[in-house]
Amino acid sequence: MRLVVFDLDGTITRRDTLLPFVLGFLQRRPWRLPRLLLVVPALVRFLLKQADHGQLKSSLIKATLRGCTRTEVADWTARFVPRLLRHGLFADAQQRISAHRRREDRLILMSAGTDLYVPAIAHELGFAQVVCTGVRWNGDRLCGELTTANRRGAEKARCFNVLREQHPGLATVAYGNARSDLDHLRLADEGVLVNGTLRARRDAARAGVKCVAWR
């Protein structure tokens, strides 16, 4: 048995998942669409490097989904996830997950995506454990602030080290797609960069991380 950690967006899925999740929710509640304008100030700060990915993520969720009930969000998650699994995954990723499951490896999904939907994806794909970004609720109503650090870059590396401590003695395998994923991929016994950019592949080669192309 090995400890196998998969990233989600761009590694298992073909693209980002948060924005499609939010936009799909808004399409069914068009009166909320103007709330997207409230994200513009945070987007400008992000582009000026005055806000990070986590702050931008929280701003998007607060602007568009704040005040929604747990039932509303859960109902959309129950529609969103099956569609994503049918049409939005790399076939090679699905095959690799299945191969690890046959080996009885311990599968962990570690994503900067939020707990609004990432645990549901993990459950459907047969992952044993999930590490993702938490979002705050106030009772039955969504607030939108993050309850954890955004699981990206150095934070992902910290979480990876925690996972290794939780499973001592297991060899580790990690899959990711972004240059920021190299922070934890280089910590694994076997790090794999999926569909990386040219710059990411160059950095991966220097770090001893394998590069693959998945379709």
Each residue's pLDDT tens digit, 46-83 = 999 999 999 999 999 999 999 999 999 999 999 999 99
Output the pLDDT for position 114. 97
Output the pLDDT for position 211. 97
Contact 112, 156 (CB under 8 A): yes
The fraction of the chain above a pLDDT of 90, given in percent, is 100
Q: What is the 3 state secondary structure string of 16-78?
A: CCHHHHHHHHHHCCHHHHHHHHHHHHHHHHHHCCCCCHHHHHHHHHHHHHCCCEHHHHHHHHH
The closest alpha carbon to 100, from 132, 82, 126, belongs to 126
Phi first, then psi, for residue 151 (nearest 5°) are -80, 75
Structural domains for the chain: 3-212 (3.40.50.1000)
* pTM exceeds 0.85 for this model: yes
C-alpha distances in Å from residue 133, one per residue of 57, 79, 203: 10, 21, 26
Dump pLDDT digits (tens) for 97-156: 999 999 999 999 999 999 999 999 999 999 999 999 999 999 999 999 999 999 999 999
- Residue 5: CB partners within 8 Å, gap ≥ 6? 108, 109, 110, 160, 163, 172, 173, 174, 175, 184, 188
Output the pLDDT for position 69. 97
Output the pLDDT for position 153. 95
Output the pLDDT for position 144. 94
Separation CA 17–CA 52 (nearest Å): 18
Q: Is the dihedral of CA 4, 158, 201, 190 positive or negative?
A: negative
Output the pLDDT for position 158. 98
